[in-house]
Every structure is written in C-alpha cells, then in structure tokens.
C-alpha cells in the first residue's frame, strides 16, 4: 500500500477515534437509561413548581370567603359548576417573567411576595362564563349582558363569593303580625292609599295591596325614624308602635293582587321597554318571583318615577337601587315607569 494511502487511512481512523472520544464525554450519563432520551430530564421537568395551589391553600387564610364560596353554586359539582378561587383570582404562585421558565424552581408566591388580583371588572370576568353566546350548552346559566345588567357591574347585586346571595334583598326579620288587627288599625290609611290598599289615580299614596310584608314594615320604620323623609308619613308612622307596624304590614300584604308573575311574553315586552334589568328582581310585570324584592304592581307611573329619582338623588338610599337609578337617564326612567305602571292590581276574592 502506497505511503499516502496508508496515511489517509490513518487520518480517517484518527478522525473516527476522535469523534467517538468526544461523544463519550459529551453524551449525558443518564441517556438510554429508560429509553432513547436523557433520563434525568424526567426529574428536571417534574421539579417545576406548580402555580395553581388549590382551594385548601386559600382556605387557610381566607376562611370567610372560602366558607361563602363553599356553600355557593360555584361549589356544586352535581349542579354543573365548581369555580375555584384561582379561576378568578389567578394562580397562587405567579409567572416570573425574569426567570428562565425551564424548571422554575422559584418564583413569586402569594402571600409572601405576590399580590393576587382582586378582579374589579366583574362584568368582564363573570360574563366570560355567563354571557349568552352561541355554542354554550343550555345547562349553563347564561344572560344577555345588556338586558340583565344594563351597564352595571355584576358585583353590584351579586355577592362575588356566593353569587346566589343578592345584595339588597329583603330579609324577613320579624314575625308576621295579625292581619285582622292590622285591618282595624289601617282605617286611616284608606284616604291616601285606597280601600284595602289599592290606590287609584288622584290618590296621594301608592298601592300597598299585596306588597312584601317585610318591605312595608321596613318602610314604616324608616318613615318613623326619619330615614325616609315624608312629612305626612312621619306623622302617621310616629303614632304606630312596632306591633302596629307589623299588624298593618301583615294586613296590606295579605291583600293579594290576583296577578301572577309575568311569563316569557311579558319579559320580552319588558325588555323592549328597557326594563329587562328591573325584571331580574321585580319581575316582568312588577310581581317579583320571591319575597326578596318589593312588588311594583299597581303603582302609578308618577310614583315610580318619583321613587327612582329619590334613589338617584340620595333622598332614598339602597345598596343596589341607588347605583341603578343613577345609571338611568330621564328617558329611561320614563320608559321603565311607563312599563310598570301598565299592570294594575286586581283585588282577589279576599276583598269586600
């Protein structure tokens, strides 16, 4: 074999030996242990710190909110929904933008060095799940935002941790009084509020028939204390004891207006009148679906307008109504009042 061929073969062999040597030192020891990959990678990947910590982590410090949540519809697997804390508040450990994300062993952690977001735009957040959009299955509770909430935030009416708890709902604080006694004691009321509490055009006072008992009692108490300002009612309420107030309230609330809560058709009509948001609590035709809200049935347009304006001007104050009324302009107030004044209170068989 000629010298140059021998040397060529030596060079090639030398190159091969060099390549194998380099390979030996470069390839990771753990390669091929479990398969064609670097076995150490498994432990490295598993070492990343989880960011979402789970609800038990929140509970240890935020017990009150946790309890509210735990008993709410947002913690009901069979009801179709568990909305955990971190869904709205973000993960308990955050992104660390400055850190190499690969095997982020450290990063900001709440509460040590990470503020968790308290969402302020609940309207944007809640509607991510609850806005009625095409494709959402029917079992998901959905709303048309503009109809349901107008321009308002969800947190105006809903307790954010227990959303079925509505703010401003009337709580039944006291035992019912005697309706019979109330009838006797309310003789003087007829002059302004009409017979059996059904008001009419020309009378000073609103319809009281079928009104929410607790609402009536609270109103009388408020007039008596001066929290609600009305010279006539101040005089009337001052002469009533608390027993009297309960009796009178029971009497008027027992005078049911024989009108059922509005159905889908009336809801659609209410929507057209701009009263869709009101209907959430007060019903489509003014008859609310529950005792949590006062009835608007049989009220005159003037009375309703006056009421809304007093809320807007802070003459009357209510955790929800004040904000809602301030969000309505004059035209909207007119339309809403006009809608609710169309339904009249028909007295049931209890009258006469």
Q: Which of 13, 14, 18, 54 binds other proteins (CB under 8 A)?
A: 54
Residue 63 touching other proteins (CB under 8 A): no
The correct pick among 13, 115, 232, 317 for binding other proteins (CB under 8 A) is 115
CB of 68 to other proteins, least distance (A): 17
d(CA 84, CA 92): 12
Tell which one of 70, 104, 143, 320 touches other proteins (CB under 8 A): 104
Omega into 111 within 30° of 0, i.e. cis?
yes
Cα–Cα distance measured from residue 193 to residue 186, given in angstroms and rounded to the nearest whole number: 10
| DSSP annotation string for 134-183 | TT--TTS--B-HHHHHTT--GGGTB-SSSTTSBTTPPP--S----HHHHH
Give the CA distances from residue 210 to residues 16, 135, 199, 296, in Å, rounded to whole numbers and listed in that order.
99, 41, 12, 10
Q: Give the range of 55-63, 150-158, 170-178, 343-351 binding other proteins by CB under 8 A.
A: 55-63
What are the b/e assignments for 35-69, b being 16+ CB within 10 Å? eeebeeeeeeeeeeeebebebeebeeebeebbebb
Task: Kindly tell me which of 27 and 191 has the beta carbon lying closer to other proteins.
Answer: 27
| Of positions 36, 64, 106, 331, contacts other proteins by CB under 8 A | 36
Nearest distance from C-beta of residue 166 to other proteins, angstroms: 21
Identify which of residues 52 and 239 has a Cβ nearer to other proteins in the complex: 52
With b meaning 16 or more CB within 10 Å and e meaning fewer, what string describes 239-251? ebeeebbbbbbbb
Q: Which residue has the tokens 């979402």?
A: 52
| CA 41 – CA 197 distance, rounded (Å) | 80
Our finding on whether 87 is near other proteins (CB under 8 A) is yes
Binding span for other proteins by CB under 8 A among 40-48, 152-160, 184-192, 235-243: 40-48
Yes or no: say if 239 and 232 are a contact pair by the CB < 8 Å rule.
no
Closest separation between CB of residue 120 and other proteins, Å?
14
The only residue of 65, 71, 89, 108 in contact with other proteins, by rule CB under 8 A: 108
Minimum CB separation of residue 164 from other proteins in Å reads 15
Selected range binding other proteins among 91-99, 201-209, 275-283, 337-345, rule: CB under 8 A:
91-99
The DSSP secondary-structure symbol of 81 reads E
Q: What minimum distance in Å lies between the beta carbon of 34 and other proteins?
A: 5
For the four alpha carbons of 159, 164, 165 and 168, in that order, the dihedral sign comes to: positive
Give the nearest distance from C-beta 12 to other proteins in angstroms.
7
The token pair that represents 158 in the structure block: 């809903």
Which residues within the stretch 13-32 sit at the binding site for other proteins (CB under 8 A)? 23, 26-28, 31-32
Q: Is 232 in the site for other proteins (CB under 8 A)?
A: no
| Least spacing, CB of residue 43 vs other proteins, in Å | 4
Q: How far is CA 239 from CA 206, 222, 246, 305, in A?
A: 20, 13, 13, 28
**What is the total count of residues that contact other proteins (CB under 8 A)?**
77
Within 116-135, the residues that bind other proteins by CB under 8 A are: 128-129, 131-135
- In the bound state with other proteins, the residue whose beta carbon lies nearer, of 116 and 320, is 116
What 3-state DSSP class applies to 131? Answer: strand
Q: Which residues from 133-152 bind other proteins, rule CB under 8 A?
A: 133-137, 139-140
Euclidean distance between CA atoms 10 and 270, whole angstroms:
96
Decide if residue 7 touches other proteins (CB under 8 A): yes
């Amino acid at each position: 074999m000629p010298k140059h061929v021998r040397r060529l073969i030596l060079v090639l062999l030398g190159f091969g030996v060099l390549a194998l040597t380099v390979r030996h030192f470069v390839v990771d020891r753990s390669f091929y242990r479990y398969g064609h990959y670097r076995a150490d990678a498994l432990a490295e990947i598993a070492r990343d710190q989880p960011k979402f910590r789970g609800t038990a982590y929140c509970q240890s410090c935020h017990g009150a909110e946790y309890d509210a949540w735990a008993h709410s519809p947002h913690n009901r697997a069979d009801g179709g929904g568990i909305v955990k804390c971190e869904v709205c508040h973000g993960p308990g450990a955050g992104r660390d933008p400055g850190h190499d994300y690969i095997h982020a062993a450290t990063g900001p952690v709440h509460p040590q060095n990470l503020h968790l977001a308290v969402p302020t735009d609940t309207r944007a957040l809640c509607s991510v799940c609850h806005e009625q959009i095409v494709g959402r299955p029917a079992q998901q509770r959905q709303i048309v935002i503009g109809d349901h909430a107008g321009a308002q935030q969800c947190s105006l009416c809903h307790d954010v941790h227990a959303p079925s708890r509505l703010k401003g709902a009337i709580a039944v604080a006291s035992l019912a009084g005697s309706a019979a006694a109330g009838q006797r004691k309310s003789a003087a009321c007829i002059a302004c509020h009409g017979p059996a509490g059904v008001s009419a055009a020309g009378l000073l006072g609103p319809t009281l028939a079928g009104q929410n008992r607790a609402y009536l009692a609270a109103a009388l108490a408020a007039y008596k204390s001066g929290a609600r300002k009305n010279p006539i009612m101040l005089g009337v309420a001052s002469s009533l004891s608390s027993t009297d107030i309960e009796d009178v309230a029971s009497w008027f609330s027992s005078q049911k207006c024989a009108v059922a809560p509005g159905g889908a058709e009336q809801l659609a009509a209410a929507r057209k009148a701009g009263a869709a948001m009101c209907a959430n609590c007060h019903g489509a035709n003014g008859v609310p679906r529950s005792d949590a809200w006062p009835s608007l049935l049989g009220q005159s347009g003037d009375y309703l307008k006056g009421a809304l304006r007093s809320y807007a001007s802070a003459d009357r104050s209510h955790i929800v109504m004040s904000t809602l009324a301030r969000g309505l302009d004059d035209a909207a107030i007119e339309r809403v009042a006009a809608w609710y004044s169309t339904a009249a209170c028909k007295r049931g068989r209890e009258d006469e």
